[in-house]
Structure 1
Amino acid sequence: MQQVKSVITEFRGSHYDFGLDQAEWLKSTLMMENREREWRLRRPRFDIDPQETEAVYKRFAPKIWEELLGIQDGLKLSLEQVLLNFGHYRVYAKESGCSVFTTEDYLVRNYDYHPATYDGRLTFFQPNDGGLATMAPVSRITGRMDGINEKGLVMGYNFMHRKKPGDGFVCYMVGRLILETCATIDDVVDLLNELPHRSSFSYIVLDPSGRTKIIEITPRDVVVRDHHYCTNHFEVLTHENRRVLTDSEMRMQAMTEQVTSSLSAEQAFHTMNNPAAGIFSDKYASWSGTIHTSCYFPKELKALFALGGNQSPVGLDFGKWLDGHALDVTMLRGQIDCDITFASE
């Protein structure tokens, strides 16, 4: 059993300055060294086209492009190196897990992936040059895998498959774009219909009105459906599903039997976070172990968060931070049952 931690950071200011700030944080970690080793072991199966990437960012997220330039200036890297590691356009996705449940009042989810890809960082960010303020765990520095924004829009995503990838944004940058540019579920649907998508995922969104939508996406199709449960198989785009869905279907059954709207958010959280319940996964070496459990409250602008299983969640008050109050906590601690370290360690 390994003790793990995730630092909580905050930043109020421009995207470019946020990029510079993240570059300074990167210098204090082993993340760049670990990323270089990863690329030596796993050669990229995609091309980097700086002009195309700049054009698509300037269309959908021009301020995040400025953040990338801030990282470039802070780390003194070439633009190609920055886009390879932090651009998240045209990237090849590994298989992973993840389970999500929503009610009118909260979204609870298990983030399942490989620990060596996990930044170990959760960021409060309030830009002053455009875009919505967000609170979210960080993926590959510039991406977000779930989270909440100042409008109370909540997002999480689940991997579906990596067949026939296209040219486009990967999941964690799509998640960032949703949180930073969308105020309503209708905004999310419009954005996801416009964005170019690299791989196939379901994006689950909840807003303060209590509406939930699951948007099934491949590089070829976008379908919106109403439901409150999601694991790792499509319910509409079934022709796009992987051949083997046993684990996804087992977690779906375990979730629908145990996690219902009759439960409080705390009860649902503990069920999702309990390895004995059959939803939490310990398959870390297979890229599908549960690293964190999170629960977001759109109406209250709050969250619960825990690293690893059977943990007491830490409460995070995003609304209070937006009002100018200091963070109550700056570190999350937990444990996971493997010896694979986080990307920044």
Structure 2
Amino acid sequence: MSGFIVRIVQTRGDSFQIGLETGEVLRNSPNLHVLSSITKQEIDISEMQSIFSTFAPHLLDELEGLAEGFGISSKRAATLFSGYDMPKTEAMGCSSLLTKEYYVRNYDFSPDLYDGVFSLIQPNQAFASAGYNLQVLGRHDGVNEKGLVAGLHFVSNDRYQKGVSPWTTIRMVLDTCSSLEEAVAMLKEIPHSACYNFSLGDRLGHMAEVEASPDEVMVRYGESFLSCVNHFQDEQMKSKNRPSIVGSQERNKHLLSLKDKKWSHQHMFEHFKRKDSPMFFTDYEDLFGTLHTFSYSYQESRILTTIAGCRDVIDLNLQDWVNGEDIPKEELIGYIKRTEKS
């Protein structure tokens, strides 16, 4: 068994200050080395700034704060953390289930390419939110103070182009959108770099899967139940799927089998995080091991989340946090079983 740690970062204030505090916390973590190995040496800063100015201008201030917090140049911070013009990413697994009452999701990948950060932020210029960081600025998944919850799901690199990464897209949605309708509208406009699903739900129980590619975006709505995995399901988008989607289809079949069970938020959260669950995977060496479970109840404004092999659960009322009540936890410690390749 090997351990891994997720830090809990809680910051409030202007976007520059949030970036500064986040950078100071992560300055001595392995993040900088890992990101240096998977990002380009430089990007077109003016192109990135133009896109950010259109969709989430406050994130430019956060990038400046991250630069100071990490002790690097603004140009280097933009290259490392903006999520713009990223090289093609490895396939990752993500499964989400949405009902009118809650959203539950697992993220599956490798701990070697995992930020290991759960952030609660309250920017003066954007909505407060809670979620797991990716490339520091971005988010795997999360929920904002308006009760809008979102997560990303890799599909393929079909028609890959220079554009905004899905994790930066999730961050822009959480920071600036208050409803499913607003999130869908933004996802139709952002220049996507690759093919991803975005699972979305809001406090009114509205839900959708946005199937996004660099050249086309389709929306699949749910009425009372929706599953979202790692392949496009809209007939118009299926040609963009990877050649083999058997694993994604099997996960989707299991999710659909849960539709009539009417489980509570707590029960579904437990089902996703259990090691013996059909939704929990341990193939970490091949980039498909469960790293965290994230969930949110709309009526209770309740987040339940944990990481693989961790006895502790973050159980918090997001509105209480927005009103100033920090949580006492500083980290989650998880354990995973890794197998040596022969």
1:159 and 2:154 are equivalent in the alignment: yes
Secondary structure of residue in 2 paired with 1:74: helix
1:169 and 2:169 are equivalent in the alignment: no
Which position in structure 1 is the counterpart of 2:115?
A: 119
Could you tell me whether the CA contact under 8 Å between 1:123 and 1:138 is conserved in 2? Answer: yes
Pairing partner for 2:98 from 102, 109, 116? 102
1:258 positional shift: 4.1
1:100 positional shift: 0.5
1:235 and 2:233 are equivalent in the alignment: yes
Q: 1:315 to 1:259 in 2, by over 3 A?
A: farther
Could you tell me whether the CA contact under 8 Å between 1:275 and 1:310 is conserved in 2? Answer: no
Aligned residue runs from structure 1 range 53-202, under 5 A: 53-91=48-86, 92-128=88-124, 130-202=125-197
Q: Deviations over 1:164-187 (max 9, x none)?
A: 212211111011011000001110
Identity among equivalent pairs (%): 28
Aligned residue runs from structure 1 range 291-330, under 5 A: 291-309=291-309, 313-330=313-330
Structure 2: distance between partners of 1:94 and 1:186:
30
Could you tell me whether the CA contact under 8 Å between 1:50 and 1:79 is conserved in 2? Answer: no
More off after superposition, 327-336 vs 183-192: 327-336
Q: Deviations over 1:215-248 (max 9, x none)?
A: 1000011111124111111110111111101111
1:83 positional shift: 2.2
Structure 1: distance between partners of 2:260 and 2:315:
22
Q: Deviations over 1:101-145 (max 9, x none)?
A: 0111110000112211211111111111x1111111111110111
Q: 1:334 to 1:26 in 2, by over 3 A?
A: closer
Could you tell me whether the CA contact under 8 Å between 1:122 and 1:137 is conserved in 2? Answer: yes
Secondary structure of residue in 1 paired with 2:85: coil
Q: Which amino acid aligns with 1:87?
A: S
Q: Which amino acid aligns with 2:334?
A: G
1:29 positional shift: 1.9
Runs of at least 5 residues in structure 1 that lack an aligned partner in the other structure: 341-345
Q: Which amino acid aligns with 1:217?
A: A
Q: 1:312 to 1:125 in 2, by over 3 A?
A: closer
Which position in structure 2 is the counterpart of 1:343?
A: none
Structure 1: distance between partners of 2:100 and 2:220:
16
Could you tell me whether the CA contact under 8 Å between 2:34 and 2:113 is conserved in 1? Answer: no
Q: Which amino acid aligns with 1:172?
A: W
Which position in structure 2 is the counterpart of 1:333?
A: 333
More off after superposition, 107-116 vs 259-268: 259-268
Q: Which amino acid aligns with 1:143?
A: G
More off after superposition, 183-192 vs 64-73: 64-73
1:257 positional shift: 2.2
Structure 1: distance between partners of 2:242 and 2:28:
40
Structure 2: distance between partners of 1:32 and 1:78:
13
1:260 positional shift: 4.7
Q: Which amino acid aligns with 1:190?
A: A
Q: Which amino acid aligns with 2:200?
A: V
Structure 2: distance between partners of 1:77 and 1:313:
34
Pairing partner for 1:206 from 201, 208, 224? 201
More off after superposition, 63-72 vs 320-329: 320-329
1:30 and 2:30 are equivalent in the alignment: yes
Q: Which amino acid aligns with 2:56?
A: A
**Cα RMSD for the two superposed structures:** 2.0
More off after superposition, 160-169 vs 251-260: 251-260
Secondary structure of residue in 1 paired with 2:16: helix
Structure 2: distance between partners of 1:339 and 1:22:
33
Structure 1: distance between partners of 2:281 and 2:321:
32
Q: TM-score, normalising length from structure 2?
A: 0.92
Aligned residue runs from structure 1 range 281-296, under 5 A: 281-296=281-296
Aligned length: 334
Secondary structure of residue in 2 paired with 1:189: helix
More off after superposition, 198-207 vs 46-55: 46-55
Q: Deviations over 1:186-208 (max 9, x none)?
A: 10011011111111111111111
Q: 1:219 to 1:47 in 2, by over 3 A?
A: farther
1:309 positional shift: 5.0
1:33 positional shift: 3.0
1:252 and 2:252 are equivalent in the alignment: yes
Structure 2: distance between partners of 1:4 and 1:114:
11
Q: TM-score, normalising length from structure 1?
A: 0.91
